Amino acid sequence: MNIPLVEIELIEDALKVAALAAAVRSRGETLICQRCLNEDEIIAGVLVIDAMDEQWALCGPCWREIPQGAHIV
């Protein structure tokens, strides 16, 4: 059985996250956590799923719940 692989990029570099947040603000929007929707939390990282053309911003508390260094196939 062939299962298609989906590439997911984790952006956690503070400068890249800040640049992404600035780009979103320039469109008149706010980058908030897609998981908890807390507008007061600082965005710690972004998951980019190219195959689905989706980006999920995550705040610090939600980001820490992601297993770091895990390889998911």
Q: Rounded to 10 degrees, what is the CA torsion of 56, 58, 40, 19?
A: -70
Low-confidence residues of the chain, pLDDT below 70? Answer: 1, 68-73
pLDDT at site 70: 55
pTM (predicted TM-score): 0.71
Domain boundaries, the chain: 8-63
CB–CB of 50/10 below 8 Å?
no
Q: In what order do the strands lie in the sheet with 8-11?
A: 8-11, 43-49, 54-59
pLDDT at site 42: 92
* Calpha distance 46→58 (Å, rounded): 6
